[in-house]
Amino acid sequence: MNDPTPLRMTVLGSGSVGLALAASFAQAGQSVSLLARGSAVPLLQEQGITVTGVCGDHQIAPDRLRVRDADAPDPQDIACDVLIVATKAYQVAEVLQHLVRKAGAAVAPKAVLLLQNGWGSADEARAALPADLSVFSSIMMIGIERRSPTHVNVNVQASPIRVGTLFAAAPQGMKDTVARGQAGFLPITYEEEIEPAILNKFLFNTCLNAIGAITRMTYGELVSNEHARHLITQVADETIRVILAERRLALAPNGATYVEKTLTPFVLPKAAAHRSSMLQDVEAGRRTEIDYLNGAVVRMGQARGIATPANDAVASLVRAREA
């Protein structure tokens, strides 16, 4: 790099994705603050972050990152080069509004990077932030499981983290961030046209995440079981039609073609043993992101006059499990 000064990066959220991103950027030599909550704060301050799995084993010592309480952030952690928001989708607007109130008008990051599943939270983030603040989105085809408050395991790494913007933000600063992040253990790239990638991940997740939470099946079991596969095909067909109407993007000819030609060939060699993040949420008694996945398909379908009975049923069953 021409400029050896580390970037000041703040990661908001200490779930599986937040811990992995904080650890990877710390390993890459950047100056990382991690905003966590509750009992995780002292544990992370004492132990740092342990990463295991397919991206290698890594130990980020406590002195290689600053761990703060997300409810009482230091202004210098908000006035950073990049604020990485690694919360659940339904938390994005609330936590950003909280930080804006805490910081005041004079304190803000230079850019915000979102790392949420689903569709809709980026618009909520954009609305919660000052208009002149650059907002970027990303997708991860990387399965990460938090095994303790300080330990994450990378189960699957199918492609790099792909970063871009849905809001025409100036890309150069984020491109520099991505370039620096490539020295970490998580692969990361910048993509000029990120919306098709996000919507393809959205389709993938609507097919597997919620149905995995309902059935407790792994991804491999889901695509191999004829009954689960039948439901997945219906969900995919509805999602494809809704996205075509809503975003003018053809993700696949139909659900059957997508499941046979795209989903199954991807899942079986790369992610057969993975358990969906929504299943992990349900088992832990946490709220899920169903409203930003199958629930979002239902809402867009209603607005466009497209029937989505399979997605509606799946969303209702997940909400029943949440209750």
In which region does residue 156 sit, left (phi positive, over 0), alpha (psi from -120 to 50) or beta (all else)? beta
Cα–Cα distance list, 69 to 11, 84, 182, 209, 303 (Å): 12, 15, 28, 30, 40
Q: DSSP letter at 260?
A: I
Burial pattern 129-146, b for ≥16 Cβ within 10 A else e, equals beeebbbbbbbbbbbbbb
C-alpha triplet 184, 185, 187: angle, nearest 5°: 90
pLDDT tens track, the chain, 323 positions: 445 799 999 999 999 999 999 999 999 999 999 999 999 999 999 999 999 999 999 999 999 999 999 988 888 899 999 999 999 999 999 999 888 777 666 678 999 999 999 999 999 999 999 899 999 999 998 989 899 999 999 988 989 999 999 998 899 999 999 999 999 999 999 999 999 999 999 999 999 999 999 999 999 999 999 999 999 999 999 999 999 999 999 999 999 999 999 999 989 888 898 889 899 899 989 999 999 999 999 999 999 999 999 999 999 999 999 88
What would you measure as the largest C-alpha separation in the chain, in angstroms? Answer: 57
Q: Which of 208, 230, 205, 226 is nearest to 218 (CA)?
A: 208
Single pTM value for the model? 0.92
Burial of 57 (0-12, 13-18, 19+ CB in 10 A): exposed
Cα–Cα distance list, 221 to 50, 195, 211 (Å): 29, 29, 11
Angle, helices 226-247 vs 195-215, to 10°: value is: 150
Domains and CATH numbers, the chain: 8-192 (3.40.50.720), 196-322 (1.10.1040.10)
3-state SS, residue 309: helix
In sequence order, which residues have a C-beta less than 8 Å from that of residue 54 and are 6 or more positions away? 154, 155, 156, 157
Q: Report the C-alpha gap between 117 and 202 in whole angstroms.
A: 7
What are the backbone dihedrals phi and psi of residue 118, each rounded to the nearest 5 degrees, phi first?
Answer: 85, -165
Q: Which two tokens stand for residue 105?
A: 């008008």
> What does the radius of gyration of the chain's CA atoms come to, in whole angstroms?
19
Give residue for tokens 């704060």.
Answer: 41
Q: Report the C-alpha gap between 291 and 183 in whole angstroms.
A: 35
- Taking a C-beta distance cutoff of 8 angstroms, is the pair 151, 129 a contact? no
3-state SS, residue 155: strand
**Alpha-carbon dihedral 219, 236, 239, 293, rounded to 10 degrees:** -20
Q: DSSP letter at 91?
A: G
